[in-house]
Structure 1
Amino acid sequence: MSKPLKQIHLAAHFPGVNNTTVWSDPKAGSHIEFTSFAHFARTAERAKFDFLFLAEGLRLREQGGKIYDLDVVGRPDTFTVLAALAAVTEYLGLTGTINSTFNEPYEVARQFASLDHLSGGRAAWNVVTSWDAFTGENFRRGGFLPQGERYSRAKEFLATAGELFDSWHGDEIVADQATGVFLRDAKAGSFVHTGRHFDIHGQFNVPRSPQGRPVVFQAGDSDEGREFAASSADAIFSRYATLEGGQAFYTDVKNRLAQYGRRHDQLLILPAASFALADTDAEAEELAREVRCQQVSGATAIKHLEFVWNRDLSAYDPEGPLPDIDPDVSDNHISKGRAQVRMYRDPLATAREWRELAEANNWSIRDLVINTGNRQNFVGSPATIAKTINDYVQADASDGFILVPHITPTGLDDFADKVVPLLQEQGVFRTDYEGPTLRHHLGLAHPDEASDERAAS
């Protein structure tokens, strides 16, 4: 007997200006005006996506002591944008990245509980930590925490926020004698938390929201991050969007759930994925190549090489050969506030590998960056992309994907109109929303129901 087909989860990431977007394309719109966010969100909701995802930028990135102006734009506050989107959407989940290193549990819990009320139960929190002192300079405490301390604080931060969400009680339903309207008898509760990172007490001032708690996402890939997700998250924002890499990550994280008394279906794994969609596979391959070339200008190629070399390479010709000098492996890095720096943990080995590739293929600096940098995860016609996504999900490489288009805000339109209907025809993606909250979309129990289930078992 064959196992039933898994239902695919789809979401959309509004990426902002960075090396994945083609902001110079005439079709590209503003990355800060509300009309762009609204168009993007409405397209995702029209396609019956689970949620929209916003990342976080706490400081403008720098390179060589100057603002990195090739891909930086002012990024508006996450909560403000999501609250505004709640007014122009009805079902779409609203997910925001909020840092646990520099914020406080009371403030963040209050903001998410408010967003959950405003949206009718559609709020989600991507819990992240901050890894660099550069970002920390924008905050009162400054500095940053070592990796182990970051996750220790994040776990306690999330647990403390949960205590705040749960401090309101509303189990009793009473009738208002004057109006005949049934009201929930909500009782404000006090909270007391004494721990390693937080020592707070008082009363939470936002009543229990429709979802009880926001859906919790996590995006870390380290062993600590995977354990954090297995113990505490509802979904994990993964970077493994290939079949083999996705299957390995999926198996590893899902196998960690049992030690926390959780089932496989209580944590969704949703990799980020880019795509190049055209009428035919050949046209899509050509588009994918064109997009990669647009993403990597000569100036961008030089800046990317500086991530590894940790030197000012502005004197080099991007259409010429790679530098013959070795990278500077000192801790004082030329690039500030950019996660890509951490990807190259052995710059000398990376430089040797890149030189070998460039020599073997007769590549210039720009050619190398184009061919070793970001590649679209899904390339093809609507039928090809729909089949690939479904194959990956059914093969347990993921539970779905968070799509990152290269054009904002219209880059999702063709996917919504051409790929989604094919997935719906195959019976692996919804034709309509089955409930009003994000927990409904993701198939996750309300926290109160989950507590009852654990008690019964």
Structure 2
Amino acid sequence: MSTPPRQIRLAAHFPGVNSTTVWSDPAAGSQIDFASFRHLAETAERGRFDFFFLAEGLRLREHQGKIFDLDVVGRPDTLTVLAALAAVTTHLGLAGTLSATFNEPYELARQLASLDHLSAGRAAWNVVTSSDAFTGENFRRGGYLDHADRYERAAAFVRTARELWDSPFDSAADPDGGVGAFRHHDRFFDIEGEFSVPRSPQGHPVVIQAGDSEQGREFAAAAADIVFSRHGALAEAQAFYSDVKARLTRHGRTPEELLIMPGVTFVLGDTAEEAAERATRIRYQQVSGPGAISFLEQVWGRDLSGYDPDGPLPDVDPDPGNTAITRGRVRHTRDPLAVARRWREIAEAGKLSIRDLIVEVTARQTFVGTPGQVADALQEHVSAGACDGFILVPHLTPGGLDEFVDKVVPLLQERGALRAEYAGATLRENLGLPPVPGRAAAEGVS
């Protein structure tokens, strides 16, 4: 008897702050109209996806002191949108990106527990950190938090939230305690009182984490239910998967207790050639001429507005000390001089312009091909130990997922790799995650 294929977990990503959504396409819609959120969520539920994943930015990002007009420039509050979506969906999980730096445990735990009740057990929290003082200016504490402290505070925040979610359960078993009584004291939080929301349907909302550093990986192994990974290529995804899963045992956890789901893109065509041509066209829509110059300036740390995006790379070297040219965006480049040397080699070898180079070196579409080829590739990644599923990031809002659900999902369902119907009542059940125990386990970052 043949072994049944591993089940693929799927999520739909509604982008928050990025310059990859193609707003110039005639099919593009609003990123703030509720109809857009509803369309993507209903499409994902029709495809039997596990959850809808809402990204968020807490400040409009600036480049050269101005809002970059090809970027997403804001939208309504995450929890408000997810609460509205709870009323128009029945099984789809509702995941929101919410900062552990610029929120407080009692308030956020209460909001997430409320969403879990309103949705009958479908809430999820993507825990993010921020040590960006520019973003912090929007908040009372400003940019007080040192970079080195951000994961410590996040770990303490998650521990505290779990204690709050457990407090109605624990207090019910303690006749001397109040209803939902809690007390928590550590370096970051000194709070006590009574939690005002009853134990929610999942016990704890599902916790998602996206960090890739050593601290981030350890935090995920200790505290997360899902990792939102950036590793989509097969070999690097396998290495990441193996590394993070191996860390679970020292936190008393099994591999089944943590799902790894990379963010991926897709482009479909009737033939492989058509899909490849379409993928190239989309990439050049995503990377406009001004966008290419802007991206280069982030690495060069210089004003390059006088350069032609269809011309060669600047002959001047980067200024490594100028990190403030872009604000509100994570700076991944640690050694801009080394990056510039590598990019010059790539551009010279391929005779590439600035725009060609940025298209070449920035993230490409992960899965490109016919619906059958894309379905094959998705199954290969899961069966080869590269991931447990995928968070799909469409390039169009709100209809960018329609083609995948219409053409790829039926193939996966026919092969038995994707559910035909939801089996569970809660997001945790549908993901196959173990139920939450009566009391929160001790968690931390080692």
- Normalising by structure 1, what TM-score? 0.93
SS of equivalent residue, structure 2 residue 20: coil
SS of equivalent residue, structure 1 residue 96: strand
Task: Select the residue among 339, 359, 376 that pairs with 1:387.
Answer: 376
Equivalences for 1:404-443 in 2 at 5 Å? 404-443=393-432
- Equivalent AA in structure 2 for residue 311 of structure 1: R
SS of equivalent residue, structure 1 residue 191: strand
> Which residue number in structure 1 is paired with residue 274 of structure 2?
283
For structure 2, list consecutive stretches of 5 or more residues without a partner in the other structure.
442-446
Q: In structure 2, how many angstroms separate the alpha carbons of the residues matched to 1:69 and 1:382?
A: 33
Equivalences for 1:180-199 in 2 at 5 Å? 188-199=179-190
> Which residue number in structure 2 is paired with residue 94 of structure 1?
94
> Which residue number in structure 2 is paired with residue 138 of structure 1?
138
Equivalences for 1:318-397 in 2 at 5 Å? 318-339=309-330, 341=331, 343-397=332-386
Shift of 1:372: 1.3
Q: Does the Cα contact within 8 Å between 1:170 and 1:187 map onto a contact in 2?
A: no
- Equivalent AA in structure 2 for residue 344 of structure 1: T
- Equivalent AA in structure 2 for residue 248 of structure 1: A
> Which residue number in structure 1 is paired with residue 48 of structure 2?
48
| Aligned Cα root-mean-square deviation (Å) | 1.9
Equivalences for 1:245-260 in 2 at 5 Å? 245-260=236-251
Change (3 A) 1:144 1:250: farther
Q: In structure 2, how many angstroms separate the alpha carbons of the residues matched to 1:450 and 1:390?
A: 36
Change (3 A) 1:16 1:189: closer
Shift of 1:2: 7.4
Q: In structure 1, how many angstroms separate the alpha carbons of the residues matched to 2:144 and 2:350?
A: 42
Q: In structure 1, how many angstroms separate the alpha carbons of the residues matched to 2:210 and 2:111?
A: 20
> Which residue number in structure 1 is paired with residue 286 of structure 2?
295
Moved over 4 A (4+): 1-4, 170-173, 449-452
Q: In structure 2, how many angstroms separate the alpha carbons of the residues matched to 1:422 and 1:16?
A: 30
Q: Deviations over 1:65-99 (max 9, x none)?
A: 12222213222100000000000100000000110
SS of equivalent residue, structure 2 residue 169: coil
Q: Does the Cα contact within 8 Å between 1:230 and 1:260 map onto a contact in 2?
A: yes
> Which residue number in structure 1 is paired with residue 195 of structure 2?
204
Corresponding pairs, count:
438
Q: Does the Cα contact within 8 Å between 2:23 and 2:396 map onto a contact in 1?
A: yes
> Which residue number in structure 1 is paired with residue 307 of structure 2?
316
SS of equivalent residue, structure 1 residue 169: helix
Equivalences for 1:209-228 in 2 at 5 Å? 209-228=200-219
Q: Deviations over 1:126-175 (max 9, x none)?
A: 111103111111111111433331111111111111111111028989xx
**Percent identity between the two aligned chains:** 63
SS of equivalent residue, structure 1 residue 448: coil
Q: In structure 2, how many angstroms separate the alpha carbons of the residues matched to 1:332 and 1:261?
A: 40
Q: In structure 1, how many angstroms separate the alpha carbons of the residues matched to 2:393 and 2:170?
A: 39
Q: Does the Cα contact within 8 Å between 1:17 and 1:31 map onto a contact in 2?
A: no
- Equivalent AA in structure 1 for residue 419 of structure 2: R
Q: Deviations over 1:17-50 (max 9, x none)?
A: 6322111100000011000000000000000000
Q: In structure 1, how many angstroms separate the alpha carbons of the residues matched to 2:10 and 2:273?
A: 25
Q: In structure 2, how many angstroms separate the alpha carbons of the residues matched to 1:59 and 1:402?
A: 24
For structure 1, list consecutive stretches of 5 or more residues without a partner in the other structure.
174-185, 453-457
> Which residue number in structure 1 is paired with residue 444 of structure 2?
none
SS of equivalent residue, structure 1 residue 321: coil
> Which residue number in structure 2 is paired with residue 183 of structure 1?
none
Q: In structure 2, how many angstroms separate the alpha carbons of the residues matched to 1:287 and 1:373?
A: 17
- Equivalent AA in structure 1 for residue 70 of structure 2: L
